Amino acid sequence: MKTLKKLGIWMDHASAHLMPYANEVDTTTTIDTEFTYEEKQESRAKGEKLMHNKEQGEQAAFYEKLGEIIKTYDSVLLFGPTNAKTELFNILKADDHFKNINIEIKQSDKMSENQEHAFVRDHFSAT
């Protein structure tokens, strides 16, 4: 019987905390969007339209990077306080590369690393 590769991702629009699950969660890898506060201020000074275009491009690159990682898993839990998880979910569901991956979304608050690990552990140990 094949062991399913499982991944929990706490995310907002600025960063994602990736937590692989294999009977336990013991590591967290963080991926941050490239659109920093300084870039936002610099772009805003040049104009709102430029800032929004640059922000959308950086967000798309952020979601694409997460998608490449998610492709290697069988089951993924997206959770966090913002609608970033839903935006990513909609992008992934529109792509046939992700049709065989079980992707679930859950709402959560901002959490400590230990709380994130417990959230992922509780979710996957119940399935």
pTM of the model: 0.83
Domains of the chain are 6-125 (3.30.420.60)
Q: Which residue, among 53, 74, 72, has the nearest Cα to 1 in the 3D structure?
A: 74
| Spatial distance between the Cα atoms of 87 and 59, rounded to a whole number of angstroms | 10
The one-digit pLDDT tens for each residue of the chain (127 residues) are 467 899 999 999 889 999 999 878 788 999 988 755 565 555 555 666 655 565 677 888 999 999 999 999 999 999 999 999 999 999 999 999 999 999 999 999 999 999 999 999 999 998 6
